[in-house]
Amino acid sequence: MSKDGHHPWHNVSPGENLPVTVNAIIEIPKGSKAKYEIDKESNLIKLDRVLFSSVMYPANYGFIPQTYCDDNDPLDILVLCSVDVYPMTIIEAKVIGVMHMVDNGEQDDKIIAVAKNDMSVNYINDLHELPPHTMKEIVKFFQDYKALEEKKVTIEHLLGVRYAHKVIQESIELYDKKFRNNS
């Protein structure tokens, strides 16, 4: 956390209507080959790396604030939207599913959501309502984006909205245990 104690992970609400809709803080815009992260010390966007392959992020990518996962980071989220969203933008996102992923031997779930205020996607309520090719693109991106780094990523399951809600609730409980009830 930064020296002044303010960090989007800790100081932005996870949302008003959890787990149906969440606030997503975008780190990487759709179409980017750059992997950005919020630097936990400075709160600035840091270029982690340029992707090693020719793939680009298939959706706006970020995290849900005030969540915590086994990889010591907040819960990741992909937000489908008709526009590329600037880093550090908060999007109200309607949760539609979750992708169970294992990255280098660690569980690394990705919540899949649609931008609540984008009429081109906000009618979607569950993964099975997406155009079939959309999820294929997302899965293929995560299978391929680390291949040239010689790191293994496995997509274990694509699960619907009910299971995604459970993953969000668990990550909020883990956050509370780690950061609020730390006694």
User: Which residues contribute to the annotated binding site?
Assistant: 35, 49, 61, 71, 76, 108, 145
- Show binding-site residues for substrate: 35, 49, 61, 145
- Report how far apart, in Å, the C-alpha atoms of 179 and of each of 4, 29, 30, 40, 90 are: 17, 29, 31, 15, 22
DSSP H or E stretch at residue 160 = strand 153-160
- Show binding-site residues for Mg(2+): 71, 76, 108
Three-state secondary structure along 87-117? CCCEEEEEEEEEEEEEECCEECCEEEEEECC
